[in-house]
Structure 1
Amino acid sequence: MPNRPTQSELLQWAVTHTTDESSAIPERPVTREPIDPKWIDVILGKDDAVKMKECVETIRGTEKSLDDKLAAFDELEMLVESLDNANDLRPLSLWTPIIDQLSSQEPKMRMYAAWVLGTAVQNNPRSQTDFLDSGGLGPILRVLASDPDEEVRAKALYCVSGAIRHNRALFDAFVDGNGFRTLASVAGDANPALLKRVVFLWRSLIEQEEPEVASRAVQAAQENGVPAMALDQTAGETEDADLVEKCLELLFTLVTKYRSTLLIDLLVRIRDEIIPIVRERFGPQSHSGMVSLDLIKQLEEALEAI
């Protein structure tokens, strides 16, 4: 009687003689439906250039609601915080439609337009040049000079400040466009928040390393009565310590670097009137806030020789 196969031999026989049915069935070609581009956008996100174009299309859309336009402006402002995106405004032909919104009947639209322009030119020489070449300086100066909405003017000043402080071509165009006269008019009728920004900008221009820029800013300050304005603000009834300190910083810069441009009567007034007022009103015992004691001391020392 033949020997019976072992379980191991039976298993091996079964494996050897088993037909792989799946291999006997011919493979059918796999057909894939094309992916809808909208799902690619959902998964990967739209390119920033596409987003910026869509924002501007919404802003210009005649059938879009004001809320939709403001939301688009808000997104656009965040997008141009990127230097690369700001630099793409020119190849995308978006500078002009944004600048055009400075003439909108809606104050919020004008405010956002100035805000986007200001963000785009911040610390970005290429974008600053594109802004100038696109004719943006004239409209933004007109808004700064005469817009009835203070929030719009504040954003316009933000734009002007970012554009001219480190770009000689823009600074020269600013001077030729009576920019300093515009700043002086803003200082004359602005609220304290806007006035502080004007004083800070003027001082930063006076302190520029480029001599010609600094000298033109000093000359413009004299021609537009800026030192006297700073004195009047400091001697007035304001309780705004920050405003007073910014005015004193401007005066200190003029006294220490450009004393020859100041009248002796003005210097005496700083020493005999302004410093005592500031010490009394904004000293350590003040309830209105303090002005830097070091600044006051340095100003006193600078005036000792009078």
Structure 2
Amino acid sequence: MDKILQWSIALQSGDQETLKKLGAPDPKMLQQLFGGPDEPTLMKQAITVVVNPDSELEAKEIAFDNFEMLIENMDNANNIENIKLWSPIIDQLDASKPESLRVYAASIIGTAVQNNPNSQEAFIKYPGLQALIDIASDPATSSELLLKALFAIASFVRNYEAGYLKFDELDGWKIINLSRDSNHKVKLRILSLISSILSTGIDAKKEEHISKAHMTEFLASVLAKDGHAGCIDKVLNIISQLAELKYQFSASEIATFSQGLSNVEHMEELSTDDLHAAKKVIN
């Protein structure tokens, strides 16, 4: 009760630092104290606003924002399927929709399926992955929308074999080739996607895709000339993943990684464990 009181005072005064420190109050507690509809009803109400052609854009954005906060709770994320809201959410990815709503839709998808097998299994039944791959493949896509689309794809694929197979079927691998001249934020998302792909294991077909997508060349280029600690650390982690999966590094890949590691091993902010694991690959 004391926390809710502090949160209410901070909200009224606009004290963002205190709001951030306290975090959002438990919605169930608020409902018990102040009454009102249950969370699935709130979710349906929010999407009703989003799809209503007479709603102002600002009202739709607020509704989507409230919806995303609700589905940070895994039970509510799973309720997206139970109350049949996946289709209207995915519809907001369409190029005809306002940019802000497309961003919210992609972010909501990523949040709902992240580390959530039930939502992954529900989402795969809809055409959302195709829409996300189209967004990520479109050179005209804004940076903000691209980042959210990549986040959603990586979250959907991670540790979910059926999701990876759908990604493969839809030629999602072409996204890896978009990373050559990307900024660091986009590169990090691409690297997270690669890590998600590897989370489902490796076989001959996946090794063929790795070769065709020039994935190891991309990893080596980050080591050789990127200079961004976050990207480099992620590459080291991926090299470790590949080694654990018994990926057969070619002599040229080992030589290229060796040169790249010599360029970055002096960086103190890198993960020591991943650096040592990557070094084992070239020895």
TM class by shorter chain equals 0.7 to 0.9
Give me the whole-angstrom Cα distance separating, in 2, the residues matched to 1:124 and 1:276: 39
Out of 208, 217, 226, the residue aligned to residue 219 of structure 1 is 208
Residue 126 (structure 1) shift: 2.4
Residue in structure 2 matched with residue 303 of structure 1 by the alignment: 282
User: CA contact under 8 A between 1:187 and 1:194: conserved in structure 2?
Assistant: yes
Residues matched between the structures, number: 251
Give me the whole-angstrom Cα distance separating, in 1, the residues matched to 2:74 and 2:129: 20
Out of 89, 92, 97, the residue aligned to residue 80 of structure 2 is 89
Give me the whole-angstrom Cα distance separating, in 1, the residues matched to 2:192 and 2:122: 25
Give me the whole-angstrom Cα distance separating, in 2, the residues matched to 1:252 and 1:100: 38
Distance 1:254 1:102, change over 3 A: same
User: CA contact under 8 A between 2:137 and 2:174: conserved in structure 1?
Assistant: no
Write out aligned runs for 1:43-82 (5 A).
43-82=34-73
Query: For residues 118-165 of structure 1, what are the alpha-carbon distances to aligned partners after superposition, in whole Å with 9 as ceiling and x for unaligned?
Result: 112122222222211122111111112215211111111111112111
Out of 258, 277, 280, the residue aligned to residue 263 of structure 2 is 277
Out of 250, 259, 263, the residue aligned to residue 263 of structure 1 is 250
Out of 238, 247, 253, the residue aligned to residue 235 of structure 2 is 247
Relative to the length of structure 2, the TM-score reads 0.79
Residue 75 (structure 1) shift: 0.5
SS state of the match for residue 133, structure 1? coil
Distance 1:111 1:233, change over 3 A: same
Question: Structure 1 vs Structure 2: percent identity of aligned residues?
Answer: 25
Q: In terms of Rg, which structure is larger?
A: 1
Q: Given residue 251 of structure 1, which amino acid in structure 2 is its aligned partner?
A: I
Q: Which 10-residue stretch deviates more, 85-94 or 56-65?
A: 85-94
Give me the whole-angstrom Cα distance separating, in 1, the residues matched to 2:277 and 2:117: 36
Q: Given residue 253 of structure 2, which amino acid in structure 1 is its aligned partner?
A: L
Distance 1:109 1:189, change over 3 A: farther
Residue 51 (structure 1) shift: 1.0
User: CA contact under 8 A between 2:107 and 2:148: conserved in structure 1?
Assistant: yes
SS state of the match for residue 53, structure 2? coil
Write out aligned runs for 1:76-225 (5 A).
76-103=67-94, 104-146=96-138, 148-182=141-175, 184-208=176-200, 210=201, 212=203, 216-225=205-214
Residue in structure 2 matched with residue 234 of structure 1 by the alignment: 223
Kindly indicate whether structure 1 or structure 2 has the higher relative contact order, using CA contacts under 8 Å at least 6 residues apart. Answer: 2
Give me the whole-angstrom Cα distance separating, in 2, the residues matched to 1:203 and 1:192: 16
User: CA contact under 8 A between 2:124 and 2:163: conserved in structure 1?
Assistant: yes
Give me the whole-angstrom Cα distance separating, in 2, the residues matched to 1:143 and 1:259: 30
Distance 1:66 1:188, change over 3 A: same
Query: For residues 89-115 of structure 1, what are the alpha-carbon distances to aligned partners after superposition, in whole Å with 9 as ceiling and x for unaligned?
Result: 234221111111101442111100111
User: CA contact under 8 A between 1:283 and 1:293: conserved in structure 2?
Assistant: no
